[in-house]
């Protein structure tokens, strides 16, 4: 049985801001069936400590980046969870990364260096007599861990995997922080953790890990291009032999549709329209559950919407983010009876939307993997997605070949422009008019493999390959 310590800055059901939390929460249980013992280390934010409590202390340090720190053992389903209780760093109001004014916490560098350091020490020294063989780091918040592990002299016996969930976030700090973060000055070079005369936690993870991963095969390829690599494409090209793309999955037990066949969607569709106050129009009800950002392509959706609405389609949107986009969608709602908009996030509403919608729109400019299209597939809510990242890997396009083969599960569009999206929306409406084809696509979508089985097997094989001689 391979022993793996997973190091993540968020994890469902304890704390979540994005898809990383879903992955960190689901992987340990999925991997158990593959013969992998994964334990998870997360920061002891206030809601995490409220859930875990302080019943069983398993490690402590007198001074971890400015204060006393302890590790408490809890449970993540049937698997072991470790919470790093460092009140001076994590016991705060507001979110895990941003303060109450929506700004990065001033000491984020130290906060997540502490998480990385604790992970490295657990791997080097063991915890409760348990010695990890692989340290699986997620995103920049654990990017320092492979370097700390090397500095502790343990990288020759504990392997490290760095997974990129979103390369847009890189953990940048000024060079004056080198000593504060306990980093070796000799490694502040182009071949080390230096990044345009700053220090980068994510680059450190990419340079010092044994293997690199990301959350879809297409995103792995995209990351090695200037367009998507965000300054780190050269580092990734240099290590392309070590880079693996493994798709995320979803917990099918949690994301189970309240119907077994396409016919069962009808009452949920009607209920959604009633709840949102939408008229009984003939076209498809399209849903969006998303952060409202340009990365997610919501600005081009605004421009393309007439292609849907003028043909009897409707839009139900749930999300928050860019204030200008929020205002623009709210204005659209006031001006058009076929548009319903809710600003914020409501998990129960999101589920009702995905169950009741005919299609789910994901027009992202880049999308490492994406989960909402997987939720859509599971519910027979056909995804209309940009041809990028995991969206390209998980949706079978309703091209002439895809339709002729009876395999299509949704629609893809490229390039990511308002014109291309508008054309795809027009095609969506035409497909919806052909209910025989539409229902066949719904059946295909609901049968698509969106769970963790295949991906967990791929991770288990990767870990086994990485294990070093003990």
- DSSP track, 197-227: TEEEHHHHHHHH-SEEEES-HHHHHHTTSHH
Q: Which of 203, 182, 174, 173 lies closest to 191, judged by CA?
A: 203
Q: Is 280 exposed, middle or buried (0-12, 13-18, 19+ CB in 10 A)?
A: exposed
DSSP 8-state class, residue 104: B
Q: Is 16 annotated as a binding residue?
A: yes
Q: CA-CA distance, 29 to 22, in Å (whole number)?
A: 12
What are the structure tokens assigned to 405, written together? Answer: 């083969």
Classified as helix, coil or strand, 333 is: helix
Q: Which two tokens stand for residue 83?
A: 């919470």
Kind and range of the H or E element at 58?
strand 57-61
Contact 116/92 with Cβ under 8 angstroms? Answer: no
**DSSP assigned state of 11:** B
| CB-count exposure of residue 125 (10 Å: 0-12, 13-18, 19+) | exposed
Residue 2: helix, strand or coil by DSSP?
A: strand
Q: Residue 157 is encoded by which pair of tokens? A: 């016996």
Whole-number Å distance between alpha carbons of 461 and 140: 24
Could you tell me the strand order of the sheet in which 411-413 lies? 339-343, 314-321, 285-292, 359-362, 382-386, 411-413
Place of tokens 């291009």: 225
Rounded distance, CA 245 to CA 64, Å?
34
Cβ–Cβ under 8 Å, residues 245 and 215: yes
Q: Which residues contribute to the annotated binding site for ADP-alpha-D-glucose?
A: 16
Binding residues: 16
């Amino acid at each position: 049985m391979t022993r793996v310590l997973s190091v993540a800055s968020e994890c469902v059901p304890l704390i979540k801001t994005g898809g990383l939390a879903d992955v960190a929460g689901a992987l340990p249980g999925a991997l158990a069936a593959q013969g992998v013992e994964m334990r998870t280390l997360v920061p002891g934010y206030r809601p995490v400590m409220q859930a875990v409590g302080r019943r069983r202390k398993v490690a402590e340090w007198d001074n971890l980046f400015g204060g006393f720190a302890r590790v408490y053992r809890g449970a993540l389903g049937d698997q072991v969870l470790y919470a790093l209780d460092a009140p001076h760093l994590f016991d705060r109001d507001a979110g895990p990364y941003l303060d109450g004014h929506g700004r990065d916490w001033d000491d984020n560098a130290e906060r997540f260096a502490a998480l990385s350091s604790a992970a490295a020490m657990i791997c080097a020294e063991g915890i409760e007599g348990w010695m990890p063989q692989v340290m699986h780091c997620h995103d920049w918040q654990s990017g320092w861990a492979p370097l700390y592990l090397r500095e502790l002299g343990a990288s020759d016996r504990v392997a490290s995997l760095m997974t990129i969930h979103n390369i847009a976030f890189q953990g940048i700090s000024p060079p004056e922080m080198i000593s504060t973060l306990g980093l070796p000055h000799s490694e502040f070079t182009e071949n080390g953790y230096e990044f345009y005369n700053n220090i980068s936690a994510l680059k450190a993870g990419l340079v010092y890990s044994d293997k690199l991963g990301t959350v879809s095969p297409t995103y792995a390829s995209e990351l090695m291009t200037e367009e998507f690599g965000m300054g780190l494409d050269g580092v990734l090209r240099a290590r392309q032999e070590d880079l693996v793309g493994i798709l995320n999955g979803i917990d099918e037990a949690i994301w189970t549709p309240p119907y077994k066949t396409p016919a069962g969607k009808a009452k949920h569709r009607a209920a959604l329209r009633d709840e949102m106050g939408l008229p009984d129009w003939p076209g498809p009800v399209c849903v969006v559950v998303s952060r409202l950002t340009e990365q997610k392509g919501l600005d081009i959706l605004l421009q393309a919407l007439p292609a849907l609405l003028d043909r009897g389609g409707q839009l139900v949107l749930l999300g928050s983010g860019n204030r200008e986009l929020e205002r623009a969608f709210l204005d659209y709602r006031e001006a058009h009876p076929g548009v319903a908009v809710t600003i914020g996030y409501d998990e129960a509403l999101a589920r009702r939307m995905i169950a009741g919608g005919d299609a789910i729109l994901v027009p992202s400019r880049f999308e490492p993997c994406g989960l909402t299209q997987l939720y859509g597939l599971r519910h027979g809510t056909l995804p209309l997605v940009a041809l990028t990242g995991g969206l390209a890997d998980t949706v079978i396009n309703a091209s002439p070949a895809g339709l002729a083969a009876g395999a299509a599960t949704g629609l893809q569009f490229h390039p990511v422009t308002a014109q291309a999206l508008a054309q795809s929306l027009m095609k969506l409406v035409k497909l919806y008019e052909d209910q025989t084809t539409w229902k066949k696509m719904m059946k295909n979508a609901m049968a698509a493999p969106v769970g963790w089985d295949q991906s967990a097997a791929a991770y288990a094989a990767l870990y086994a390959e990485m294990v070093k001689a003990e």
